[in-house]
Amino acid sequence: MAMLFDTFRWIHIFCGFLALCIFWIPIVTKKGGRTHSRVGWVYVTAMAAVSVSALFMGIYRLTWDAGPDVDAIPFSWFLINIAILSAATAWYGIRVLRFKRRKETHRGPAELLFALLLLGSSIAVSVYGWTIGFALLQYFPIVGMFLGGSQLVYWLTVPKNKAHWAVEHIVGMLSCCIATVTAFTVFGAPRLLHIESVSLFVWLLPTIVMVPLIIGFTRKYQRT
């Protein structure tokens, strides 16, 4: 199992670094253009690998080897939560394009399952965070609660805006970017900078930066 864990860890590091390097390209390039589409798919593929590997590593740490670090268990739950957040938001960003012509509510089990999983896991992890007094788990899952809830609302209501699919695609993919950068600030940056801990503000900084972008793009496309 240790060898398998190391394999997933290197997959996670490589794909996470790739996603971190290219996530901005679809944001700044022409929407629907060749570069946007091709780099976007590379990003989604990388994040799929990141999500699967993070989920495995989180479960591994919880069930086989938590290690001597007292924060290993809380960080394992964070890893699992952010894996679900990454997968659910990337999946959402893709599926809204698949059903962009819908004129009624959508109750596809795959779409609703991811939204419910994101909402439910975020609530559970936040409750656990408050129980043990771990700030990262107390506050970061609020992002997942909001996104999971908003995804359910989108699927279960009739679209009112002509460009609803464009708005939700951007929301989904930028939310996935939040997961990408947050994971780096929590796990990658401390190791690269050789520091033992990072403040809660730095952990939440990607959310603080990305949310105005999401709001700006949403308002822009809602006017079309």
pLDDT tens for residues 113-153?
999 999 999 999 999 999 999 988 998 999 999 999 999 99
pLDDT at 196 over 60: no
- pTM as predicted: 0.86
The one-letter amino acid code at 115 reads A
Residue 198 scores a pLDDT above 60: no
Taking phi over 0 as left and psi of -120 to 50 as alpha, with beta for the rest, 49 belongs to alpha
Mean residue pLDDT of the chain comes to 86
What are the residue boundaries of the structural domains of the chain, listed by start? 2-222
- How high is the pLDDT of residue 192? 58
Which pLDDT belongs to residue 116? Answer: 97
Greatest Cα-to-Cα distance within the chain, rounded to the nearest angstrom? 55
Question: In 65-108, which residue ranges form alpha helices assigned H by DSSP?
Answer: 72-98
Enter the tokens of residue 102: 């819908």
Q: Identify which of 118, 109, 108, 110 has the alpha carbon closest to the alpha carbon of residue 88.
A: 118
Average the pLDDT over 65-88 and give the result: 84
Classify residue 202 as exposed, middle or buried by CB count within 10 Å of its CB (0-12, 13-18, 19+).
middle
Cα gap 56→185, rounded to integer Å? 20
Q: Could you tell me which residues come within 8 angstroms of residue 202 by beta carbon, excluding any fewer than 6 positions away?
A: 185, 189
Predicted local distance difference test score (pLDDT) of residue 190: 62
Tracing tokens 């790739």 back to the chain, one arrives at: 18
> What value does the mean pLDDT take over residues 160-180?
87
- What pLDDT is recorded for position 70? 65
Residues 112, 96: Cα–Cα separation, whole Å: 12
